[in-house]
């Protein structure tokens, strides 16, 4: 908190060295915050733009150890788009803001929440700089720099230095984020490949064993008729396992079709109730039918839309298979109804439920909320389902409580 740096070039060179010394995302964020507070500020915060343009507070640092607890409270008030002349304004315009002297009037514009204004006052904010963190030509976040010294206000000169620092910090943070994402992607892929190979090998081994047994039987029973029933059973098992293998491979193909943006819909007139009944009939004709009772509600209504029948069938089958797999043998309720301009399909089970932390990610590719030891699967069913529903302009949402069950709601536009 020297505030004014004499050797600006030297400071920026040193800053670049510190910023490039780690690819660990959290270490880099902390380095930026420390660098700012050690050299030009009493307090600083970093907010990064996440999905849907929403800013998330990711780091803060305060010089005065007595103010640490107060500073932490700023995490209770992440940036609010209603606030003006502050973080969101810099994030959306990409332009820095200098508030040389904080006034009550400005504070009221910059924070609509009285409690937050209180925390800022306790921090003793006097002068503010908001600078955009930029990388690869776009704003990725905002660096907030604060002085709380009564006799010190930031100037245009300080703003220029802060911008220089932020442009280096932006690249460092972005690189660390990309590196972390890449590492996560690699480990998800590795885990997926190990599950996929295991999943594909199981039916294949079973097919091989069955074929070998059939061959042995045919050779042994070539003169006797009595072996034919046993051979039929074996061939049926082989057929079942081959179908399972085909389904798994089909799922993987679907994932690659979606990844390359080639998911085409072949739309036709579809009656939702008839479609659900067809899927249920198909399940009942399988050698291993659903082990959970199904209660069907609203199937008497005619709800007709213009959709891809085969793909929707796939979605309903996926959700029913999951209800069967994770449903602890308890009944599943399927509801079909019309709501304004949407067809609504609800599949509700009373099974194991899904932890809150998993609810957001299980619609992503290869993400699972259970271990492969307890429940088999590739973690692509919900991903494919969501992609199909969204390609129709619809939505799929989830409500779930651990131990109580899960409810998946699909809304499909009728027009």
Q: Which residues bind ligand ADP (CB under 6 A)?
A: 318, 322-323, 326, 349, 351-354, 362, 368-370, 377-383, 406
DSSP 8-state code for residue 75: G
Shortest separation between residue 100's beta carbon and ligand ADP, angstroms: 53
Shortest separation between residue 380's beta carbon and ligand ADP, angstroms: 6
Q: How far is residue 37's CA from residue 233's CA, in Å, rounded to a whole number?
A: 75
Measuring CA to CA, which residue among 19, 18, 15, 20 is closest to residue 5?
A: 15
Shortest separation between residue 103's beta carbon and ligand ADP, angstroms: 52
Q: How far is residue 326's CA from residue 361's CA, in Å, rounded to a whole number?
A: 17
Query: Which is closer to ligand ADP, CB of 382 or CB of 410?
Result: 382
Q: How far is residue 403's CA from residue 351's CA, in Å, rounded to a whole number?
A: 6
Shortest separation between residue 191's beta carbon and ligand ADP, angstroms: 12
Query: Which is closer to ligand ADP, CB of 127 or CB of 322?
Result: 322
Give the tokens for residue 303: 């709800």
Query: Which is closer to ligand ADP, CB of 103 or CB of 256?
Result: 256
| Contact between residue 275 and residue 315 where contact means Cβ atoms under 8 Å apart | no
| Contact between residue 99 and residue 128 where contact means Cβ atoms under 8 Å apart | yes
Query: Which is closer to ligand ADP, CB of 10 or CB of 289?
Result: 289
| Contact between residue 341 and residue 413 where contact means Cβ atoms under 8 Å apart | yes
Shortest separation between residue 405's beta carbon and ligand ADP, angstroms: 7
> What's the alpha-carbon Rg for the chain, to the nearest Å?
30
Measuring CA to CA, which residue among 381, 55, 147, 365 is closest to residue 247?
A: 381
Shortest separation between residue 261's beta carbon and ligand ADP, angstroms: 20
Query: Which is closer to ligand ADP, CB of 80 or CB of 313?
Result: 313
Query: Which is closer to ligand ADP, CB of 111 or CB of 322?
Result: 322
Query: Which is closer to ligand ADP, CB of 169 or CB of 378?
Result: 378
Shortest separation between residue 339's beta carbon and ligand ADP, angstroms: 22
Backbone angles phi, psi at 100, to 5 degrees: -65, -45
Backbone angles phi, psi at 84, to 5 degrees: -110, 160
Query: Which is closer to ligand ADP, CB of 37 or CB of 382?
Result: 382
| Contact between residue 129 and residue 98 where contact means Cβ atoms under 8 Å apart | yes
Measuring CA to CA, which residue among 140, 179, 157 is closest to residue 23?
A: 179
Tell me how far the alpha carbon of residue 89 is from its chain's centroid. Answer: 27
Shortest separation between residue 366's beta carbon and ligand ADP, angstroms: 8
Query: Which is closer to ligand ADP, CB of 179 or CB of 283?
Result: 283
Measuring CA to CA, which residue among 32, 336, 325 is closest to residue 170?
A: 32
Which residue has the closest beta carbon to ligand ADP? 377
* Residue 59 three-state SS: strand
Backbone angles phi, psi at 130, to 5 degrees: -115, 120
Measuring CA to CA, which residue among 84, 97, 161 is closest to residue 131?
A: 97
Shortest separation between residue 292's beta carbon and ligand ADP, angstroms: 10
């Amino acid at each position: 908190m020297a505030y004014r740096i004499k050797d600006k070039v030297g400071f920026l060179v040193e800053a670049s060295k510190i910023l490039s010394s780690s690819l660990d995302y959290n270490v880099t964020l902390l380095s930026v915050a420390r660098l700012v507070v050690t050299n030009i500020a009493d307090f600083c915060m970093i907010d990064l733009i996440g999905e849907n343009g929403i800013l998330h507070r990711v780091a803060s640092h305060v010089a005065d150890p007595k103010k640490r607890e107060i500073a932490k409270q700023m995490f209770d008030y992440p940036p609010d788009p209603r606030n003006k002349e502050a973080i969101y304004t810099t994030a959306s315009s990409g332009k820095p803001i200098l508030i040389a002297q904080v006034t009550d009037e400005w504070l009221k514009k910059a924070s609509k929440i009285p409690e937050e204004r209180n925390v800022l006052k306790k921090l003793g904010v006097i002068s503010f700089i908001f600078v955009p963190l930029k990388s690869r030509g776009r704003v990725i976040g905002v660096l907030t720099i604060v002085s709380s010294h009564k006799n010190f206000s930031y100037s245009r000169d300080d703003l220029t230095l802060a911008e220089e620092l932020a442009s280096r910090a932006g690249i460092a943070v972005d690189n660390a984020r990309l590196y972390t994402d890449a590492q996560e992607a690699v480990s998800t892929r590795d885990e997926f490949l190990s599950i996929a190979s295991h999943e594909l090998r199981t039916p294949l081994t079973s097919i091989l064993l069955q074929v070998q047994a059939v061959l042995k039987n045919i050779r042994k029973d070539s003169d006797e008729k009595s072996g034919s029933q046993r051979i039929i059973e074996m061939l049926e098992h082989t057929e079942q396992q081959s179908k399972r293998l085909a389904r798994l491979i089909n799922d993987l193909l679907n994932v690659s079709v979606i990844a390359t943006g080639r998911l085409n819909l072949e739309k036709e007139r579809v009656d939702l109730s008839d479609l659900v009944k067809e899927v249920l009939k198909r399940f009942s004709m399988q050698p291993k039918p659903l082990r959970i009772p199904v209660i069907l509600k609203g199937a008497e209504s005619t709800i007709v839309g213009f959709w891809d029948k085969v793909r929707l069938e796939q979605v309903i089958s996926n959700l029913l298979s999951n209800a069967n797999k994770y449903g602890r043998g308890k009944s599943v309720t399927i509801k079909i109804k019309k709501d304004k301009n949407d067809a609504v399909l609800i599949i509700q089970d009373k099974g194991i439920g899904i932890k809150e932390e998993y609810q957001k990610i299980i619609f992503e590719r290869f993400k699972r909320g259970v271990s492969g030891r307890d429940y088999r699967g590739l973690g692509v069913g919900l991903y494919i389902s969501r992609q199909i529903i969204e390609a129709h302009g619809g939505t799929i949402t989830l409500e779930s409580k651990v131990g109580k069950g899960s409810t998946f709601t699909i809304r499909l536009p009728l027009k």
